[in-house]
């Protein structure tokens, strides 16, 4: 059984399933599956897209639906009796799945360690009880979880060797009728509907402000979980144009990325793209989060660097004016742009590990399953 509760987890899990199929061609995969897992033949008992909710308060109204999906997944596991469960990120959902799998006697491999080092460290006790092998993708996580008595392996970041454009800058610009002599800004509001609704108004405002004294192009590569059609009405009259997917190409060939804090900031870093990061939740979620989260930075790029590399415009600081000001500094060249590109290269160096992370993950999965069967 596989369970991926968001777009990035679906991508990692899809890569892992593809690798495991090479070793176990007759294996059946089923569970909570997004587009990538479904493309690899995983049977979707429930869909990743059904769980895409962010925020402590925002999730409340969706709890009955999410619990219903959870029960469907558990019933499928009870019926199919899987030999192994591979759970990817999404701890609020997958910790509960792990608990049920443990009760069923199913070993659990957890891909992408939840960020309990940042908040709610008490969850480590639950993890230690329900997870048989934890696979970390950030270098500082292994020591933290090992100190807390968990069976853990650092595999490296799966994106570090995979994120690359599929076409040249000239090809990308020609495909989307973009003038080659204009700087390009990639607009990345998030992969969930709620994120987009909170972020898009200020991003549109930033694009309008940036366009007042510059000739710019703006591309929004819509996530597969949303689709470009969702943006037709919200972007009408805006200089921002939505396209279907192609986020890596958009980031690789743009001059600046406006990126919602999350996996996309790591993708931009790997591509060496200067960026401005931001995020906004409801006021209540923000107030509660400030009491619970204990980290010096919000962006993973800055956390890995252990210093501010990219601007973080969180909550009330996320305004069109602030975004435009920070992006303008990067568009105008000079020291700010050069320094950020150097720092991003350093971050990427820290993410790389020996061997392919997905190969290492597959190796750990096989070890757990073979050890369990013995």
Q: Which residues contact 133 (CB under 8 A, 6 or more apart)?
A: 108, 109, 110, 151, 152, 153, 364, 365, 367, 368
Task: Record the tokens describing residue 253, joined without a space.
Answer: 């060939």
Residue 313 near residue 319 (C-beta atoms within 8 A): yes
Domains with residue ranges and CATH for the chain:
2-156+353-373 (3.40.50.2000), 169-351 (3.40.50.2000)
Task: Kindly state the DSSP code that residue 294 receives in the 8-state scheme.
Answer: -
Going by pLDDT thresholds of 50, 70 and 90, the confidence category of residue 290 is low
Higher per-residue confidence, 361 vs 49:
361
Cα pseudo-dihedral 236, 240, 242, 248, rounded to 10: -170
- Secondary structure (DSSP) of 99-161: HHHHHTT--EEEES---TTTB-TTHHHHHHHH-SEEEE-STTHHHHHHHTT--EEE---GGGG
Quote the CA–CA distance of 326 and 313 in Å, as a whole number.
9
Residue whose tokens read 């934890």: 134
Q: What is the mean pLDDT of residues 37-44?
A: 95
Quote the CA–CA distance of 200 and 353 in Å, as a whole number.
36
Quote the CA–CA distance of 341 and 159 in Å, as a whole number.
18
Tens of pLDDT, residues 167-200: 999 999 999 999 999 999 999 999 888 888 999 9
What SS3 class is residue 374?
coil
The mean of the pLDDT values for the chain is 88
pTM for the model stands at 0.75
pLDDT at 57: 44
């Amino acid at each position: 059984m596989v369970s991926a509760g968001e777009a990035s987890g679906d991508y990692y899990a899809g890569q892992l399933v593809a690798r495991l199929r090479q070793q176990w061609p007759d294996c059946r995969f089923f569970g909570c599956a997004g587009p990538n897992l479904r493309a690899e033949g995983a049977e979707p008992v429930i869909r990743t897209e059904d769980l895409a909710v962010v925020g402590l308060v925002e999730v409340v109204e969706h709890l009955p639906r999410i619990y219903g999906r959870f029960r469907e997944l558990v019933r499928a596991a009870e019926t199919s009796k899987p030999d192994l469960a591979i759970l990817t990120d999404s701890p609020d959902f997958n910790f509960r799945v792990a608990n049920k799998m443990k009760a069923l006697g199913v070993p659990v491999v957890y891909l992408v360690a939840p960020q309990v080092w940042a908040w709610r460290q008490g969850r480590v006790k639950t993890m230690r009880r329900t997870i048989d092998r934890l696979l970390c993708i950030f270098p500082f996580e292994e020591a933290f979880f090992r100190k807390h008595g968990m069976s853990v392996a650092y595999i490296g970041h799966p994106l570090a060797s995979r994120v690359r454009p599929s076409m040249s800058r000239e090809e990308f610009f020609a495909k989307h009728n973009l003038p080659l002599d204009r700087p390009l800004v990639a607009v990345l509001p998030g992969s969930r509907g709620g994120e987009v609704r909170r972020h898009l108004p200020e991003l549109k405002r930033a694009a309008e402000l940036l366009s007042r004294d510059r000739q710019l192009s703006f591309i929004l590569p819509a996530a597969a979980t949303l689709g470009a059609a969702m943006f037709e009405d919200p972007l009408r009259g805006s200089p921002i144009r939505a396209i279907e997917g192609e986020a890596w190409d958009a980031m690789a060939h743009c001059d600046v990325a406006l990126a919602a804090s999350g996996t996309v900031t790591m993708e931009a870093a790997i591509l060496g793209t200067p960026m401005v990061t931001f995020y906004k939740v409801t006021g209540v979620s923000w107030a509660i989060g400030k009491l619970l989260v204990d980290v010096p930075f919000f962006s993973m790029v800055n956390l890995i660097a252990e210093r501010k590399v990219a601007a973080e415009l969180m909550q009330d600081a996320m305004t069109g004016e602030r975004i435009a000001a920070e992006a303008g500094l990067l568009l105008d060249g000079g020291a700010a742009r050069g320094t950020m590109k150097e720092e991003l290269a350093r971050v990427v160096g820290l993410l790389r590990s020996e061997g392919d992370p997905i190969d290492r993950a597959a190796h750990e999965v096989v070890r757990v399953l073979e050890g369990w069967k013995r």
